[in-house]
Amino acid sequence: MFTGLVEGLGQIERTDPEGSGRRLAIAWPGLPAAEPLELGESLAVNGCCLTVVLADGPRFEVQAGPETLARTNLGGRRAGDRVNLERALRVGDRLGGHFVQGHVDTTAVLRQRRPEGEWEVLAFDLDPIWTPLLVPKGSIAVDGVSLTLVDVEPEGFSVMLIPHTLAVTTLGLIQPGDRVNIETDILAKHVRQLLRGK
């Protein structure tokens, strides 16, 4: 379980095919030396919960299986690309974002970014099967970043980003046409499933 509050920007150093999956070697320059990653630890990489399979100081490796590569943007990431990183929520931690599982539902494509003073509005295109799970002022995770929805349309949504979020996450770097990982709110998914059962 995560909060969607990104702890650091990592950089992919290498991607290696592993059968139908892929192994990603990532550097986390700002990782506190006093809190090193542990083998087997869960880590959100662009909002996707992955397991650390090798840890060496600020460098680590994770494996992404075929389902992960098909459902997320990690299959398109290359050496040099930046990724959002967040460690799993510890009992007793503050919950500043919202409950994020790290189970990416789908991807969306950035349609437009529009400055509004120091802030920016980002508008995304999203498959319409997912938009019924979105509500204005509700929560969404975009590349693992917990955000508040501004507008929801039949085939997309928009969010507004403060300067801090633009500076410390990949959302400050993406351009129109770029694909991002989307995790809709877990409560909305459960409510929809319960209603389908009636």
Q: How many domains does the chain have?
A: 2
Concatenated DSSP letters of 92-119: T----S--B-S---EEEEEEEEEEETTE
* Residues 128, 172 within the same domain: yes
Question: pLDDT tens digit string along 137-153?
Answer: 999 999 999 999 999 99
List 109's β-bridge partners, or say none: 125, 179
- Of 56, 87, 118, the residue that ends a domain is 87
* Residues 82, 23 within the same domain: yes
**In 3D, which of 131, 122, 109 has the Cα closest to residue 166?**
122
Can you give the CATH number for the domain in which 70 is found?
Answer: 2.40.30.20
Of the listed ranges 1-5, 117-121, 186-190, the least confidently predicted one is 186-190
**In 3D, which of 68, 60, 113, 88 has the Cα closest to residue 1?**
88
* Residues 72, 134 within the same domain: no
Q: Look at residue 193 in the predicted model and tell me its pLDDT.
A: 83
In a domain, 147, yes or no: yes
- Of 37, 56, 87, the residue that ends a domain is 87
Distance (Å, whole) CA 81 – CA 73: 12
- Of 55, 87, 119, the residue that ends a domain is 87
Give the single-character DSSP code of 171: G
In a domain, 119, yes or no: yes
In a domain, 93, yes or no: no
Q: Look at residue 172 in the predicted model and tell me its pLDDT.
A: 96
* Residues 57, 129 within the same domain: no
Residue 198 has pLDDT above 70, yes or no: no
Take residue 43 and report the two structure tokens written for it: 């880590």
* Residues 112, 179 within the same domain: yes
* Residues 76, 16 within the same domain: yes
Residues 6+ away with beta carbon under 8 Å from 193: none
The average confidence (pLDDT) of the chain is 95
In a domain, 66, yes or no: yes
Question: Residue 58: which domain range?
Answer: 8-87
In a domain, 1, yes or no: no
In a domain, 183, yes or no: yes
Are 108 and 124 contacting, i.e. CB atoms less than 8 angstroms apart?
yes
Question: pLDDT tens digit string along 22-55?
Answer: 999 999 999 999 999 999 999 999 999 999 999 9
* Residues 143, 188 within the same domain: yes
* Residues 75, 110 within the same domain: no
In a domain, 34, yes or no: yes
In a domain, 186, yes or no: yes
